[in-house]
Amino acid sequence: MDSAQHGNRTMNVMTERRTRGMIWRKAFLQAFSIVFLAVAVGLIVNHFRSDRVPLIGDWSPEGRLAKNMVITLEEARGFCESRSAAFLDARSFDDYREGHILCARNLPLKDVDERLESAMAGIPLEETIVVYCDGEECSLSEELAKELYFRGYENVRVLVNGWSRWVEAGFPTEKG
């Protein structure tokens, strides 16, 4: 192979590498442009919708619920002592059996369709209902409260992180 052929071959390899690099760069820029355009369109559409999603907000359990749905520990204790509200434990049956608020019934969120009628027997639609689960991040009580509200129960309240806070306060509990 003479030096001219070797030089041409080297040029071809370099040109091929440069072309591949340009193709990847172009593909990246196109992908970035599509993503940028999608985000921009999403933000613009969200801005003009009447039911827009807030971009910055309070996503804590208290922030996700309507203000009148959250109940304080002391309010819940008063309802339990006076027996003026129904208490529902949204945790699993096994967790409920290991311990629950003294006056609580068990209605796991996953069993609402099958057990709602029996769990809510004797509880009028207008009675105050306090729903709780365990843990700061537990959303079972929040979801169960919303489900009960949509099924006609007008006065549903959520005791956020209810089980842990109730036990820490030394309020009455039972097992079984």
For the chain, the C-alpha Rg in angstroms (whole number) is 30
Do 77 and 145 share a structural domain? yes
* Angle, alpha carbons 109-115-119 (nearest 5°): 95
Residues of the chain above pLDDT 70, percent: 84
pLDDT value of position 10: 61
CA torsion 107→135→156→61, rounded to 10°?
-140
Place 136 in a pLDDT band, splitting at 50, 70 and 90. confident
Do 135 and 115 share a structural domain? yes
Do 136 and 149 share a structural domain? yes
Domain extent, residue 96, equals 61-174
pLDDT value of position 124: 93
Question: In which residue are the tokens 């593909």 written?
Answer: 27
How confident is the model over 77-123, as pLDDT tens digits? 999 999 999 999 999 999 999 999 998 999 999 999 999 999 999 99
Do 151 and 71 share a structural domain? yes
Between the CA of residue 153 and those of 18, 20, 117, 131, what are the distances in Å? 68, 65, 13, 12
Do 52 and 23 share a structural domain? yes
Place 12 in a pLDDT band, splitting at 50, 70 and 90. low
Domain end, chosen from 56, 78, 97, is at 56
Do 150 and 88 share a structural domain? yes
Do 161 and 78 share a structural domain? yes
Distance separating the N- and C-terminal Cα atoms of the chain = 91
User: Which residues touch 114 (CB under 8 Å, ≥6 apart)?
Assistant: none
Domain end, chosen from 41, 56, 71, is at 56
How confident is the model over 21-47, as pLDDT tens digits? 788 888 889 999 999 999 999 989 988
- Asked if residue 63 has pLDDT above 80, the reply is no
Do 142 and 66 share a structural domain? yes
**Count of domains for the chain:** 2
Mean pLDDT (whole number) for 46-60:
72
Place 60 in a pLDDT band, splitting at 50, 70 and 90. low
